[in-house]
Chains A and B, each alone.
Chain A
Amino acid sequence: MSVAAGTIDRRAPAEASRAGERRRRFTLALAGFLGLLLVLAVAEIMIDGSAGRSALIPKAPSISKWLGAIGEPLGYRVFLIALLTFTGAYAALAVMARQLPSRFVIALIAALHLIVFIGPILLSTDVFSYIAYARMGVVHGINPYIHGPIAIKYDPVFPYQGQSWLKTATAYGPLYTLLSYPLAPLGVVGALWGFKLEALLASAATLVLTWRVAARRGLNPTPALLLVGANPLYIIYGLAGAHNDVIMTAFLMGAVALALSGRDSWSGASVIAGTLVKATSAAMLPFMIVGRRRVGTITGALAALLAGALVGYVAFGIHGLDIVAALNRDAAFVSSDSFPTELAHLIGKPGVYPVDHTFLKAALAVVLVYLLWRTWRGYDWIAASGWALLAIAVTASWLLAWYTLWALPLAVVVRDRRLLIATLAVQGLFIIHQAAPLIAPVQ
């Protein structure tokens, strides 16, 4: 407040207030523009993805043909431009996230979810494997933990299977397989919508829990919500592929929320439920036990494990419980997007060899032991869980975009910002690695 000749100048605060208002309006206008870019980018992918045959769209029954009427088949160039536009706008929104109204962020995320929900399945045949495993059990009476989809080669879902997975038995937990069973009798298209709805609801649960945990920990929940719910890999790869990783993150965030509200038994049980969807979730349990030091966590986890094992055994026999074997099998796969493959190329090797897997497992074990020690010494167990999940993704020789999502909801609810920066950096590198067809198209 300025004082001149004994009188109070009331213009200065008024001007400051006007400047503040102008800045607020500019921020809102910019955010609106960036939000529009996100919506347009994902809409472009979905419209072109519905328009016909594309290498980026798995062979699928037509569920969104009406959308494709105004588009043309999705090519790498358009997809990558849309992905990079989305990523750039997301990064800019993330920077200004603290100043954004929560209603704007919720509306934006809802719009993105709606567009993805009505669009085609993107970039992966996994959802058709989920349907095949469900139909194997329900329609054909075949154990999906023993046989791959090749066992139902005359089923209507068979033509949509990924060629690499025809002989592969399910690697998912018995809880997920049982959750998918009610969708099997709906036919391929009905089941596809069912899995899309399942992913949508799981995403909504993940986001609500992320909001609540962030608020409970005294963090601004709006940026946390934005960083997860408008994340390019979360929307375009995870949700648009109806991947069960979103269900896994819902259970993990449920476990965190329950732990913070003192319901330790349920919290431990929730981690096990996540593990019975996708085994990677188990990585959270040791940190929860060491960080919380509550008997309830262990008893809850044990009770859930016992119940899950019993149900799994009754439903699928001993094979339904052998998640470790499935993990070991998957750990031996190699994808061109994985960091171990990139590192192998960097040092002049053609790819990852079996001996490298031993080295990678050892490196991961060292990281996990160190994180446990840090948690024992007082480090935030939620952050440690996030680091563990990120380390699993980075050391995996089989890395898919949705694996980089495991740590994300945890990263936005911890005060150690390094986890969020590291998670987003890993995602950024993944996206950069996709850009080759944009620089040098093959045609």
Chain B
Amino acid sequence: MNDRERTDPQGEGTDPGREHTNLRLVETTLLVVIAVVLAAATINDLARQVHVNHRLAADMRTWRAITGHNYVNLDVEEDLKHFTTRDVICGNTAPGAPGARPQVCLIAIGPIRGGRRHVEGGFYMPPELADDAYHRYACFGSALLHHWCLLKYVPRGYPDAPLVGG
């Protein structure tokens, strides 16, 4: 057993007295400041997420109102590239498992009014495919103006009716 272990058999350290107390005070103060900042950041982020959730819920209500389908499993994509509040909401055009039928997608923008958001355009997609310009067809509204659809034909038997801004 060496000297260090003789004075510290449980390996708990041997912090010296007065200097230790001062250091501890500084450390504790710093920890409290960090805790307050992290707590503020967490609460702020929770509030932000609640706000986003309200928006996404309004997006879904809007999609159901415009398409006339009361489906639960809708896919809402936020604009994580430019951090705008423009959301794309996609869902089945006929009853079936999520994504298993041709998809109709709507582009929602602006604030929530009367529990819904303004839809500026949209497009269709064949089933079971990721949202990609090459998979989109029959664009309407702003999606048509901005050339969001690179699939130039409507797959046989699939829906293609413009829902807004026709």
On A, residues with C-beta under 8 Å from B are: 216-218, 259-260, 291-293, 339, 341-343, 345-346, 350, 374-375, 377-383, 394, 414-415, 418, 422, 425-426, 429, 432-433, 435-437, 439-443
Contacts and interface: CB of A to CB of B under 8 A. Distances in A.
A378 B10 contact: no
B69 interface: no
Nearest to B40: A346
Interface string B57-69: 1001000000000
Contacts of B39: 429
Contacts of A293: 4
Contacts of B12: 217, 380, 382, 414-415
B28, B46, B60: which has the most chain A beta carbons within 10 Å? B46
B67 to A, nearest CB: 16
Contacts of A441: 53, 57
Given A429-B39, A441-B53, A342 B45 contact: yes
Given A345-B45, A346-B44, A442-B60, A218 B10 contact: yes
A403 to B, nearest CB: 15
Contacts of B41: 339, 342-343, 345-346
Contact of B57 (A377, A394, A440): A440
A438 B12 CA distance: 43
A269 to B, nearest CB: 18
Interface of B: 4, 10-16, 20, 23, 27-28, 31, 35, 37-46, 48-54, 56-57, 60, 72, 76, 83
B8 to A, nearest CB: 8
B15 A378 contact: yes
B38 A339 contact: yes
A435 B49 CA distance: 9
A377 B15 contact: yes
27 contacts: A217-B12, A342-B45, A343-B38, A345-B41, A345-B44, A345-B45, A346-B45, A374-B23, A377-B16, A379-B13, A380-B11, A380-B12, A381-B11, A381-B13, A414-B12, A415-B12, A418-B28, A418-B31, A425-B35, A426-B38, A436-B52, A437-B53, A439-B46, A440-B50, A440-B57, A441-B57, A443-B72
A414 B54 CA distance: 44
Contacts of B27: 418
Contacts, number: 98
A378 B49 contact: no
B15 A292 contact: no
B32 to A, nearest CB: 10
Nearest to A382: B11
Given A346-B41, A429-B42, A440-B50, A260 B13 contact: no
Contacts of A339: 38, 41-42
B11 A433 contact: no
Given A394-B38, A418-B28, A443-B57, A292 B11 contact: yes
A292 B72 CA distance: 59
A279 B14 CA distance: 29
Given A374-B23, A380-B12, 17 more contacts: A342-B38, A345-B44, A346-B41, A380-B11, A380-B13, A382-B12, A414-B12, A415-B12, A418-B27, A418-B28, A418-B31, A436-B52, A436-B53, A437-B53, A440-B51, A441-B53, A443-B60
B50 A442 contact: no
Given A346-B40, A378-B16, A441-B57, A436 B46 contact: yes
B38 A442 contact: no
Nearest to B130: A163
A293 B16 CA distance: 18
A425 B38 CA distance: 10
Contacts of B60: 442-443
A260 B10 contact: yes
